[in-house]
Amino acid sequence: MDNKVLTSFEITQTQLDTAAKMLHLEPAIHAILRVPMRELHVSIPVRMDNGDVKVFEGFRVQYNNARGPCKGGIRFHPDETIDTIRALAAWMTWKCAAVDIPFGGSKGGVICNPKGMSSGELERLSRGYIDAIWEFIGPDRDIPAPDVYTNPQIMAWMMDEYSKLKGYHSPAVITGKPLALGGSAGRGDATARGGLYTIVEAARHLNIDLSAATVAVQGYGNAGANIAILANGILGSRIVAVSDSKGGIYNEHGLEPNKVLQRKMETGSVINYSEAENLSNEELLGLRVDILCPAALENIITQANASKIKAKMVAELANGPTTPEADEILYDAGVFIIPDFLCNAGGVTVSYFEWVQNMYNYYWEEEEVHQRLNKKMAKAFQDVLSESLERKVNMRVAAYIVAVTRVAEAMKLRGWV
Ligand code: GLU
């Protein structure tokens, strides 16, 4: 493989190409799946608290809707680019197909620094984004949700703005809403919980005793903090290290994930914690642990650091944390990867449950959501594992094979090719 650094979107295309070759995918289907169906670039004027108007740049990429309405979150991030949004929209397409929910894939983003904005500014930006894209979304068209640095309150403002524009209450246009506005029980920690269910399946396959397992988590946002809390609380695994964008902490005897979260909420970071030593994000990746969970952004495990990874299993709660070069290194080293769009599909799966509940206006108990989520995640994991064992390919290629086959079938049945 040459050493050109691929962009996130080029990575998704490379991954698709590998699967397409193995599947002998029809060239026309392959060509359609290599690029997004539709992209919106919008400018969002927002009145800031100091009276100035600032114009923000936003995107919504609708990648493919062969299996149903597009589905995917919205990120608010200073380093957002159209390239990452394209990649994330492609991954949403594969993710929804891998867990077999009736949605296509999309993603949105706004270039902004939400940590430096007041609540009023964030509300005006959220409403402005919907004003710019509302004609292109809808419960049967494209359904947004939270992602990096967006949350249930932002979803509530967006749902309200959309409903006002339509002239009627329309909760199913967006998922990840607060419970009081039609959110689903169990949506808050769904990404991590879904990941946990895949870890349980993988551990059974690899003969790892999870009650004695050690875990390192890179990223301590919604996915990272919740996987630490659930792996420790439900499985009894020992969380030896966690990190965020400022750095990490390590305690070989185990951290108390809830206390660490409390501290992050008070100080803005997990670092300088009295019951642990500081370590860097790079050091965390190289720890000798059973399970390593990248749970932040893309391109974290690369050609430069992959050979240092000593974990038995990498559970990718983030989208796109491992580059294709790193994938090969890890595969050759016998590290078992639960690939991103399988491992982190719990969020969109419960988003689907939320949409279903909104559509028939009848709400489920949390227990029921957990059971249904477990069933979906375990089935998806087993589908991918069988493909991987049968074809002797790594779990990522296998996940692509499962997902691309399903999307291609829908395209053929529709008569697109
Ligand atoms: N942002 C989450 C993801 O990347 C959830 C998307 C959704 O619920 O639509 O999977």
Q: What residue spans define the domains of the chain?
A: 8-14+34-172, 190-338
Instruction: Write the pLDDT tens digit of every residue in 96-112.
Output: 999 999 999 999 999 99
Q: Is the CB of 72 under 6 A from ligand 1?
A: yes
Q: Does the annotation count 107 as an active-site position?
A: yes
The H-or-E segment that residue 117 falls in is: none
Q: Which residue has the tokens 């086959």?
A: 405
| More confident: 2 or 300 | 300
CA pair distance 36, 108, nearest whole angstrom: 13
Read off the pLDDT band of 311 (50, 70, 90): very high
Q: Is the CB of 71 under 6 A from ligand 1?
A: yes
Torsion from C-alpha of 362, 367, 373, 376, nearest 10 degrees = -90
SS3 content of the chain, % helix, strand, coil (to 5): 50, 15, 35
Looking at residue 3, its pLDDT comes to 57
Q: Is the CB of 348 under 6 A from ligand 1?
A: yes
> Is the Cβ–Cβ distance between 310 and 288 less than 8 Å?
yes
Say if residue 24's pLDDT is above 60: yes
CA pair distance 76, 197, nearest whole angstrom: 28
Strand boundaries in 229-322, DSSP class E: 238-244, 247-250, 277-279, 291-294, 313-315
Say if residue 351's pLDDT is above 60: yes
CA pair distance 176, 75, nearest whole angstrom: 13
Does the CA dihedral 285-286-289-291 come out positive or negative? Answer: positive
Q: Is the CB of 112 under 6 A from ligand 1?
A: no
**Pairing of the two strands 238-244 and 247-250:** antiparallel
Q: Is the CB of 183 under 6 A from ligand 1?
A: no
Q: Is the CB of 222 under 6 A from ligand 1?
A: no
**Pairing of the two strands 277-279 and 142-143:** unpaired
Instruction: Write the pLDDT tens digit of every residue in 240-273.
Output: 999 999 999 999 999 999 999 999 999 999 999 9
Say if residue 401's pLDDT is above 60: yes
Q: Which atom of ligand 1 is nearest to the CA of 350?
A: 8
Q: Which atom of ligand 1 is nearest to the CA of 72?
A: 9
Residue 272 backbone zone (phi > 0: left; psi -120 to 50: alpha; other: beta): left
Average pLDDT estimate for 157-169: 98
Enter the DSSP assignment of 69.
Answer: S
**Pairing of the two strands 336-338 and 53-64:** unpaired
Architecture of domain 8-14+34-172: 3-Layer(aba) Sandwich (3.40)
Q: Which atom of ligand 1 is nearest to the CA of 176?
A: 8
**Pairing of the two strands 53-64 and 238-244:** unpaired
The H-or-E segment that residue 217 falls in is: strand 214-218
Q: Is the CB of 344 under 6 A from ligand 1?
A: yes
Q: Is the CB of 96 under 6 A from ligand 1?
A: no
Looking at residue 4, its pLDDT comes to 72
Looking at residue 411, its pLDDT comes to 98
Nearest-CA residue for ligand 1 atom 9 is 72
The pTM assigned to this predicted structure is: 0.95
Phi and psi at residue 389, in whole multiples of 5°? -70, -40
Average pLDDT estimate for 201-207: 98
Other CB atoms within 10 A of residue 121 CB: 18
Q: Would you identify the CATH topology of the domain 190-338?
A: Rossmann fold (3.40.50)
Residue type, 75: R
Instruction: Give 244 Cα–ligand 1 centroid separation in angstroms.
Output: 20
Looking at residue 53, its pLDDT comes to 98
The b-or-e profile of 287-326 (16+ CB within 10 A means b, else e) is bebbbbbbbbbbbbbebeebeebebbbbbbbbbbbbbbbb
Instruction: Write the pLDDT tens digit of every residue in 361-398.
Output: 999 999 999 999 999 999 999 999 999 999 999 999 99
Looking at residue 161, its pLDDT comes to 98
Overall size of the chain counted in residues: 417
Looking at residue 1, its pLDDT comes to 46
Instruction: Give 349 Cα–ligand 1 centroid separation in angstroms.
Output: 8
Instruction: Write the pLDDT tens digit of every residue in 48-79.
Output: 999 999 999 999 999 999 999 999 999 999 99
Average pLDDT, whole number, for the chain? 96
Mutate to test the pocket of ligand 1, among 92, 376, 377 (most ligand atoms within 8 A of CB): 92
Looking at residue 297, its pLDDT comes to 87
> Is the Cβ–Cβ distance between 8 and 84 less than 8 Å?
yes
Looking at residue 5, its pLDDT comes to 81
401 alpha carbon, distance to own chain's centre:
19
Instruction: Give 68 Cα–ligand 1 centroid separation in angstroms.
Output: 15
Closest of 182, 187, 184, 188 to residue 163, by C-alpha: 182
Q: Which atom of ligand 1 is nearest to the CA of 147?
A: 1
Q: Is the CB of 126 under 6 A from ligand 1?
A: no
Nearest 5°: the CA angle 193, 235, 317 is 35
Closest of 284, 281, 329, 276 to residue 302, by C-alpha: 329
Q: Which atom of ligand 1 is nearest to the CA of 344?
A: 10
Instruction: Give 354 Cα–ligand 1 centroid separation in angstroms.
Output: 12
Enter the tokens of residue 158.
């967006």
Mutate to test the pocket of ligand 1, among 101, 103, 137, 147 (most ligand atoms within 8 A of CB): 147
Instruction: Give 60 Cα–ligand 1 centroid separation in angstroms.
Output: 14
Q: Which residue has the tokens 């607060």?
A: 178
Instruction: Give 275 Cα–ligand 1 centroid separation in angstroms.
Output: 34
Question: In sequence order, which ranges of 167-255 are alpha helices (DSSP H)?
Answer: 190-206, 222-230
